[in-house]
């Protein structure tokens, strides 16, 4: 059965002046359909299913940071990729989350049409909602193909966004510690 995305892709190929029946393009509509299924799978994911009871009572009091988590998403304005690294920190308040859940949360929100500003806050809000920590900090650094491939064509530009709450927002010392840790090189 041919999906609607396959039909649209075939029409797009015609609109840009290509022949969708050309050997190299015959299977392109199906490949594009499968790719979009993957790119947008975040719409079908559920935070509670991702967490899967991986929240544990723990007397940890110090900052927990998962840094340099690679992400990719699609700009909702141009449907062009943006990608980069996310850094997530929180201060436990009697509970910790399985570390692998943080990248899964990032992916759930990144695999939707996005703007980096919203994406950053969605990740922070999700961590806040499941852990109720003393504070959350999310910093994202992204390269936007909509700025690099078209428009202003600035190939070396990066966009940084942050979302901070609790101790990260109230305490300059806490915020500074987080920013210092995520800026350290590990290689």
Residues annotated as catalytic (active site), given as ranges: 75-78, 116, 144, 146
Residue 134 near residue 91, CB atoms below 8 Å = yes
Tokens at 93, concatenated = 């308040």
Residue 80 near residue 40, CB atoms below 8 Å = no
Cα dihedral value 132, 137, 143, 147, nearest 10: 90
Rounded alpha-carbon distances, angstroms, from residue 52 to 20, 55, 84: 43, 8, 26
CA separation for the pair 103, 90 (Å, rounded): 14
């Amino acid at each position: 059965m041919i999906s609607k995305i396959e039909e649209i892709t075939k029409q797009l190929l015609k609109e840009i002046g290509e022949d969708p029946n050309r050997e190299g393009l015959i299977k392109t509509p199906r490949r594009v359909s499968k790719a979009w299924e993957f790119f947008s799978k975040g719409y079908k994911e559920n935070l509670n299913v991702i967490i899967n009871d991986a929240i544990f009572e723990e007397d940890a009091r110090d900052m927990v940071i998962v840094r340099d988590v690679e992400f990719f998403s699609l700009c909702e304005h141009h449907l062009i990729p943006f990608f980069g690294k996310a850094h997530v920190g929180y201060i436990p308040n009697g509970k910790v989350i399985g570390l692998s859940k943080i990248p899964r949360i990032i992916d759930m929100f990144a695999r939707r049409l996005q703007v980096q500003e919203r994406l950053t806050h969605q990740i922070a809000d999700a961590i806040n909602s499941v852990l109720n920590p003393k504070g959350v900090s999310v910093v994202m650094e992204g390269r936007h193909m909509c700025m690099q491939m078209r428009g202003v064509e600035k190939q070396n530009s990066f966009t940084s966004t942050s979302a901070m709450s609790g101790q990260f927002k109230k305490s300059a010392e806490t915020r500074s510690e987080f920013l210092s840790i995520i800026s350290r090189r590990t290689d």
